[in-house]
Chains A and B, each alone.
Chain A
């Protein structure tokens, strides 16, 4: 199975900050890497793919990038509603695997 290693596991940030989360895949996943946001008590919500194509309605302050096996999610000008946990997921091949999550608080 492909392992997804996400870092950091948590971070503290203030409104207006820029936040960067990293995800590494143990095998090739091409650009079939997706980022999800989960606010406390809610279901996950698809944000953006590894090629930085945002889901409809997702603000432009969310961006993504890839360099080899290293994927990054960047949130610029952090807003209050952005607090929560972020997960990466590879969908290149089953089983679909998620990173361990990054809690932004």
Chain B
């Protein structure tokens, strides 16, 4: 059974860093692309970043490029999102999701999300 479980969220001050994790089970990270998608309170979905099946390709939304880094550890079957220089508009629930390829495929499984609150 495919499952994704995020952790690492919490309250953090503006300008500080946070590292999110997403543990995958029921499949291998080497078999698909993995995404981070966020949702600010009461708002819609915003795609954040993606890493390819082989880890060779990473793409980011303009809003986070240069501040966030997506990575993975295949030995732990875990996806990460290192978030630096956090701002108030980064406050959101962060979901990890998978797709078969980097593009042109749906996000067919999602985690339950982890809440990040950036406070001054």
Contacts and interface: CB of A to CB of B under 8 A. Distances in A.
Contacts, number: 63
Contacts of B62: 1, 95
Say whether chain A's binding surface is mostly helix, strand, loop, or mixed: loop
Given A34-B106, A92-B103, A94-B102, A101 B111 contact: no
A34 B107 contact: yes
Interface residues of B, number: 25
Interface stretch (B11-19, B41-49, B66-74, B77-85): B41-49
A49 B67 CA distance: 32
Interface residues of A, number: 25
A45 interface: yes
Contacts of B50: 94, 96
A92 to B, nearest CB: 6
A101 B45 CA distance: 8
